[in-house]
Structures are given as C-alpha cells and as structure tokens.
Structure 1
Amino acid sequence: MLLPALGGVLPDRPDAVRIDGETASWEELRTAAAGVAGRIVGAPAVAVYATATLPGVVGMLGGLLAGVPVVPVPADAGPVELRHILTDSGAALLLADTPPKHPVPVPVEPVRTARPASSGRLPEPSGTATALILYTSGTTGAPKGVLLTRDAIAHDLDALAEAWAWTPDDVLVHGLPLYHVHGLVLGVLGALRVGSRLVHTGRPHPDRYASADGTLLFGVPTVWSRIADDPGSARALAPARLLVSGSAPLPVPVFDRLAELTGHRPVERYGMTETLITVSTRVDGERRPGYVGLPVRGVRTRLVDDTGAVLPADGESIGELQVAGPTLFTGYLGRPEATTAAYAPDGWFRTGDVATVGPDGQHRIVGRASTDLIKSGGYRIGAGEVENMLLAHPGVREAAVVGAPHPDLGQQVVAYVVGDGVTAQTLIDFVASGLSRHKRPRQVHLVEELPRNAMGKVQKRQLLP
C-alpha cells in the first residue's frame, strides 16, 4: 500500500494534516480523496492545480486512490506552459478550485464538488502503475513528462525514512511548492506513508517555520538562507530533530550559520525528478558541509569521465554522476528517443551532474555538467567550490559562477555576485588567496539579484553570454 495513512492501517488522528491553517484528519482526507477518486476512476490521467491548499492535496490524493496518473500543475503556469502540460499529458480534466486565468483544452472541475465517497475502498493499483507525471523544465524544448511509478515512490520514501529515522512521532514542516519531488513526494506523500503529522506553512516564511513546532523540517537553500538571516526564527528551531536541505547545494556559510543558531547541522540530500532522492546524509552519520552523503538503500552510483570510463572514488576525480536502482523513472512520456538518450549503454542513468566521491563514499555535487564544470586552460574547475569561496567573503550575499567562452583558455571563470561594499578586483583577489589561482574568476559582475526558479535554483543559463 502506497499511503497507509489513507488505508485505515494507522490509527486516525484529528490533526494529521494542516495546510496553510486548514486542518484535516486522515479519515477526513481519505473520505474527500475517495469522493474525487469516484469521479475520475478510469481516466487516462488527471491534472490538478498543485496549490498549497487542502483541496489541492485532496485532488492529487484522489488521483492516487483511483490509480489514475496525477499531473501536478503549477497554479501560476502561463498559458503556453499550461496548454502544453494538459495536452502532452493526455489529462482528461483539470481539477481546480480556482478557475484558470486562460482557456484550457480540457474540462475544469472544482475539487470541492460535493459527491458521496464510494461505499467501499477502491483496489490498490499495481506497484508498476504510473503514479505521477511530473514535468521537468528541460534545458531545451518544451518540458518533458517524467513517469514515476508507485513502487519507485514507495521504495524511495522507505529508504529516506530509514536514513533520517523518520517515524510517526515526527511532525513534518515545510512550505515548498507541491508540483516538485521535494514538496509533493517527500513533503506530502512521505508523511502519509510514514504516518507522521504534516504542517504545510503555505509560504516558507521563517516565522511560520519557527511557530510550527516541527521535529522534521524541509527546505531549499533559499529558505534556509532566509532563516539563517532571522536569528529569532532560527533559534526557535532548536527543539527540532532534523533540518533537511535539498533541491540545490546549501552554501557552506548558510550551513555554518544554521548550525550556530539552531544547534543542528543540516542533513543534505541529492536527487532529480527522474531518479527521486538517491543520495543523502544519514541522521547518525557525518554531516559535512558541501556534501550530500551516501547512496540510499538499493541505489548504486558511479562517476564516469567524458569517454564513459569509470573514475576512482578518491575525492579528487571529477566526473558525471550516474545512478542505478529501484527509484528511477520509467521514461519520458511519449519521448522514447529522449528516454534512451538518458541512459548509458549499460543501463546507468546519466544525471548530467558532476561530482566527486571520497574513499568513504561521501558524495559532493559540483554542479551541472553543462554549466558547473568549467574547463579552463586544461583544468577542470567546479563552479560550486568557487561560489563557496566567494560566499565566505563578508560582503557577499549571493554568488553564481559560470564558464564563459575564452579564445585562449577555452572557458574562463566568471562570477555574478550580489554584495555590499565590494569590488570586482577585491573578490578576484579573495578567491585567489584561498584557492588555486587558476580557479579565480577572470571577471566578476556585481548585480542586484540572481535569476532563480520557483525552487530557488539559480538559472545559470540566463547568465551565460
């Protein structure tokens, strides 16, 4: 059973789920979701406005109970994106309590439509059935639909529960969007699988995290950075059990500041939409800033060079991270060629991320192969190392490093910095004083802000010339 909390397996609790102030028990959630399931059972797929609201969650759970692939849609999706997702996914309808602002090619129904729940429970779908179709924001072309099975989700959540000692006694708190793996799979389905209480704060404001009385808190680096800048809210997290960061590298200064204010060294983890979470720091393991830990149960990893040769786990060799295991997706919807291209000839998934792995198995993600591995003058430079060095300067608030074309070096290191009272040359010299000189930025651009997506990830392709 994918979600025991909705299957009557676990004792009901009246305050099981609180989303932006609205509360429901598991039984109330199951009854509402069953009402939705009865309306859509047999549909090829159902799209749901993935709002951080109780109706938004009920709509997605209804699809899962019915065994209908669920297509979470960002509530702020523009007309082109919205039409593409609805058309490409084959969704029979869009569940939305707030009508879309733009015309859509499918019927729209509110989640809260009063319908009696089925008198009996629907049969549990096969574990190999598609549970979710999540759309990625690919680097080229329109977003692709990633097919995730019920078994992949169940295995990943069980492996993470083991790694983080996640139990029904926990209170999970986060304020993340519900159309990504982090906010939806971990942040909602995880609670319903483990049986822990869930508090979604609506928005990831530091004061809302501080007042939620959570034991297990999820956030992306942008969230943790804002909490670290709010000492009162950060100190209020001291009674928590675990702070988990993901979706992008957590800057080392933010890690250190959180540890100082909360008394907790954050747990970092790594994953992708196509693979779910494959690598994580353990609750009882070393929490090393800049590292994402070890493969979760059942997952294997390796590093390869540009020729496909496997690299040693020596902590120095930088290569593409490839993964294998039961958490991987079954393919891109309607794109067999893209699915084939995502795998190496021997079946390992190509993440497109570059990393190092130490002799102790600890993984450090350098960044995306396309934007974060800089080949300059014969050297292979990880953008993340330079970014962390820049962030160590007291006048730097944010930093992003890319490789720009250079007629002699091939690529040169270029930094974009949000800071106060600093100059480009000061920062170039600062990096050179702490790292090898070939890693220093050749150019530093001082900017007002860095381009980010909804999950707080810096969009480096917008910085490239």
Structure 2
Amino acid sequence: MPQPPAAPLLTALHEGRDRADALTVDGRSCSYAELLGAAGAVARRAAGTKAFAVEATASLETVAAVVGGLLAGVPVVPLAPDAGPAEREHVLRDSGAELLPVDFAERADFTAAPGEGAALVLYTSGTTGPPKGVLVSRAAIAADLDALAAAWEWTADDTLVHGLPLFHVHGLVLGVLGALRTGSRLVHTGRPAPRAYAAAGGTLYFGVPTVWHRVVRDEAAARALSGARLLVSGSAPLPAPVFRDLLALTGQAPVERYGMTETLITVSARAAGERRPGAVGTPLPGVRTRIAESADGIGELQLTGPTLFDGYLGRPEATAASYTADGWFRTGDIAAVDDDGTHRIVGRASTDLIKSGGYRIGAGEVENALLDHPAVREAAVVGAPHTDLGQQIVAYVVADGVTAAELTDFVAARLSVHKRPRTVRFLSELPRNAMGKPQKKLLPPV
C-alpha cells in the first residue's frame, strides 16, 4: 500500500479502518486501499510536473486524481466538465497544468512527496474578468476541515451524502476531502436529485439552496431525510421559506455557513447551537471577522485566519488588492452581526448593497420577503440608477398569479416602506451558475 503523506491531510486513508464501500460516487464504490492504489498510479504519472488538470466529473477518477496530486505534492487544477473552449484554454494556459488522463483500474505504490506548495488551484467564476487561479494550501484545508468537524460534530460514524460538483470548494474540499479526513463514509449521488438523497440513508447531507428547494418540493424525499443528523446549506443564501419547509418536513433546522474560494469556510452555525433563517452563525476557531465602514448596521465583511488562500496564481497585484493595509481579507460581501455574534450575509457589495434615498438596503432581505409570498418561486433584487433616489430597488421574480403592485405592497407590509421594490419584472427563470447562485449580472436590463 502507498505510504501516507509526510504531513497527512487525508488521515482516514491510512488509519487502518477500511470498508469496501468507503466511497461511493455515482453508483461506483471502492475501499480506501483501492483509492490509494489508483491515486498512487496518478501520482507516478504526475510527479515532477508543475501542475496537472483533471476533468472534474462526478467520478472515482476525479477523487483518485486529487488524492494522487496530494501524494505527489503537485497542485491539482479541477476543470469544470462543462467549461467552454475559451475558459478551458484560459485555465490550462494560466495554470501551466497538463491535462492527465486517469484510469481508476490502474494501481501503483507511491512514496508521498512533501508537497510544500499549493494542494489545489481553484479558478474563480470570472464575473469581474478572466477567472483567477486561487492557491489553496494543505494547511488551510486541514485547518478548515478540522474546524468544521468540530462545529458540525462530524466523525467517522457519519455517512456524508451530496451530489455537488467536484470543481468547487463545497463539493470537493468539504464533500470529498472532508470525508477522507474525518473517515466518514461518502456517498456522492452523481447529481443532487431529491430521490437520490432520500435513498442514500445518510446522517450528514450537503446541499446548495437550489438542491434544498427541490427537496422540499418533493415531500416524500424530504420526509425521508428525517433520520439524518445534520443538513448543511451553503454556497448561496438559503431562502427563509426553504429553511422553514425543511424544518417542517424533516424536523431538522438546516445549518448555514459562509465561505469563499479564497477563504474556504470561515463562519458557520453549530450542530449544537441555534439555527435561524438567514443566519450563517459565528466564526470558526482561529478566524476573526470585522465589519468595515459600517452604517445602518451593515458593511463589508473582512476577515483573517488560518484558512485563507496563498494568493492568486501569477497575480500579485490582485492578491495585494484583496487585502486591507492592515492585513484583513476583503470578502466583498456585505454582512451584519447580531448582538450575540451571529453573522448575516446581506449580499455582494457590487450588486447587493443598494443605496436608495439615503438608506442602505440589503438585497437579500428584500429577496426573502418576496419569497415569503406563496406565488413567488424565485427572486433576485438589484439596485438600478434613479435620478431622485440614487438607486431604486428592482425585483426580478419567477411567479404566477400575482401582480407587480401586489408584490410591492407585500414587501412594504413586512419590511420598511423604503425597502419595497419600485419596479418588478417577471421572468420564466433566473440565470444561475453551476452551484445554483443567481447571476445578477446576466439579468435583463431594467
């Protein structure tokens, strides 16, 4: 069997506890020993390369590639399977990574390399320019996974279930490397379909809001999750109605958490703590947060701690610009902190902080109010230029059987009158990315 890494990150792989179905990905299962053998073959092929890329499909091959990179001490660059030619070419050129094929049936022993550089190079979505390569270290991953294991009481006795993409932090770092560090059994469902989640029999489930919205619409699938220990939601704000429906159908109030590619997960509700809609909990151990330029109780969330990235690949100026003069990372997200230290994420500074008539308004608060209307299925709120107010609140909704005026009055009755949408546009669906996040920059103009 291959030797464990010199500074082991995936501790469960060499602790001696193994089973034939330690990992199941899209219906295929393997043991830790089989995974290490396949990863050893990848490591032999990758050793000495600057970096290597892998088609990050929902497969055992992807898992073997990432583990192989850790063994070889070579950064792994996960490629989104649906990336277009231009994005794919940019990532490979920017990272200098070779695209290596992976054969899970191939086996080899490999003595692990120290691996002092990045473990992963994860590319941002590129909403403000070409995607940037985020350098994520082993130390940051280890610190984050240990903090989350403590926060969520995540142990080797758990069975983790999810169907999230393996080219993002949520699906890959938390959803695969987390299982390989804690020793929990992993069932990746291939796709995050409600019936697949229900059939998996897990104790711990990961999902994004889109997944949980689909789960609560399938009442039988949702009730099947009532035996789970913990439901975790992340990657985008969970609408309050979905939170309440999950609680009603499963008996579980979901744990919400907050993070970014550059920071990993930094704030989370706790398994043993209070969970309330719209709240992402408190900072993880070692993480410090602050609200900058706070006004009306909200401002940019800045933070520091052991889970932060090592910079953007080849972009020192962009790396420097992402930090304040005194060394705090600028998240670009707008947040508020309650008296008990609980954090609430209002949205992105660039799109979700609306300054209207002298008020600072968080788009997320208005979106949740709209989603409370029974006719509204989806909602996205932005600020648009207005000659008198500076910005006016514009709502894009997917809804049936309701008028714009009714929705405006509905929001005004639940929030302050100045937070009501001035314009409501009806769409058949909201533009979203692979993680289910609404892409507000792709909304049609007002």
- Scaled by the length of structure 2, what TM-score is found? 0.96
1:180 Cα deviation from its structure 2 partner = 0.3
- Work out whether residues 208 and 234 of structure 2, in 8 Å CA contact, stay in contact via their aligned partners in 1: yes
CA deviations on 1:155-180 (whole Å, 9 max, x unpaired) are 00000000000000000000000000
Give the aligned residue type for 2:130.
A
Per the alignment, residue 298 of structure 1 pairs with: 286
How is 1:40-79 mapped onto 2 (pairs within 5 angstroms)?
40-79=46-85
Per the alignment, residue 274 of structure 2 pairs with: 286
1:391 and 2:371 are equivalent in the alignment:
yes
Q: 1:441 to 1:113 in 2, by over 3 A?
A: closer
How is 1:271-420 mapped onto 2 (pairs within 5 angstroms)?
271-305=259-293, 311=294, 317-420=297-400
Give the aligned residue type for 1:112.
D
- Work out whether residues 124 and 132 of structure 2, in 8 Å CA contact, stay in contact via their aligned partners in 1: yes
1:39 Cα deviation from its structure 2 partner = 1.1
Provide the alpha-carbon RMSD of the alignment. 1.2
1:121 and 2:146 are equivalent in the alignment:
no
1:261 and 2:249 are equivalent in the alignment:
yes
1:123 Cα deviation from its structure 2 partner = 3.7
- Work out whether residues 153 and 185 of structure 1, in 8 Å CA contact, stay in contact via their aligned partners in 2: yes
Per the alignment, residue 457 of structure 1 pairs with: 437
1:121 Cα deviation from its structure 2 partner = 2.7
- Work out whether residues 432 and 439 of structure 2, in 8 Å CA contact, stay in contact via their aligned partners in 1: yes
1:113 Cα deviation from its structure 2 partner = 7.4
Q: 1:417 to 1:58 in 2, by over 3 A?
A: same
Give the aligned residue type for 1:94.
L
Q: Secondary structure at the match of 1:179?
A: coil
How is 1:123-202 mapped onto 2 (pairs within 5 angstroms)?
123-126=113-116, 129-202=117-190
Q: 1:10 to 1:268 in 2, by over 3 A?
A: farther
Per the alignment, residue 5 of structure 2 pairs with: none
Per the alignment, residue 31 of structure 1 pairs with: 37
Distance 2:104 2:423 in 1: 57
1:125 Cα deviation from its structure 2 partner = 2.7
Q: 1:411 to 1:16 in 2, by over 3 A?
A: same
1:140 Cα deviation from its structure 2 partner = 1.9
- Work out whether residues 233 and 256 of structure 2, in 8 Å CA contact, stay in contact via their aligned partners in 1: yes
Match for 1:4 among 4, 11, 22? 11
1:60 Cα deviation from its structure 2 partner = 1.8
- Work out whether residues 10 and 195 of structure 1, in 8 Å CA contact, stay in contact via their aligned partners in 2: no
Give the aligned residue type for 1:174.
H
1:88 Cα deviation from its structure 2 partner = 0.2
- Work out whether residues 48 and 59 of structure 1, in 8 Å CA contact, stay in contact via their aligned partners in 2: yes
Q: Which structure 1 segments of 5+ residues have no match?
A: 96-109, 306-310
Give the aligned residue type for 1:249.
P
Distance 2:275 2:105 in 1: 48
Q: 1:116 to 1:240 in 2, by over 3 A?
A: closer
CA deviations on 1:329-349 (whole Å, 9 max, x unpaired) are 010001010000000000000
Distance 1:403 1:277 in 2: 28
Give the aligned residue type for 1:452.
R
1:34 Cα deviation from its structure 2 partner = 0.5
Give the aligned residue type for 2:155.
T
1:283 Cα deviation from its structure 2 partner = 0.5
Q: Which structure 2 segments of 5+ residues have no match?
A: 1-7
Distance 2:106 2:184 in 1: 28
Per the alignment, residue 94 of structure 1 pairs with: 99
Q: Secondary structure at the match of 1:331?
A: coil
Give the aligned residue type for 2:311.
G
1:18 and 2:24 are equivalent in the alignment:
yes
1:124 Cα deviation from its structure 2 partner = 4.2
Q: 1:445 to 1:365 in 2, by over 3 A?
A: same
Q: Secondary structure at the match of 2:140?
A: helix
Q: Which moved more, 1:137-146 or 1:193-202?
A: 137-146
Give the aligned residue type for 2:269.
T
Distance 1:392 1:115 in 2: 52
- Work out whether residues 4 and 10 of structure 1, in 8 Å CA contact, stay in contact via their aligned partners in 2: no
1:433 and 2:413 are equivalent in the alignment:
yes
Distance 2:259 2:159 in 1: 23
Q: Secondary structure at the match of 2:227?
A: coil
1:115 Cα deviation from its structure 2 partner = 5.0
Distance 2:372 2:227 in 1: 28
Q: Secondary structure at the match of 1:81?
A: helix
1:13 Cα deviation from its structure 2 partner = 1.4
Q: Which moved more, 1:240-249 or 1:58-67?
A: 58-67
- Between the two proteins, the alignment pairs up a number of residues equal to 438
Distance 2:444 2:140 in 1: 36
- Scaled by the length of structure 1, what TM-score is found? 0.93
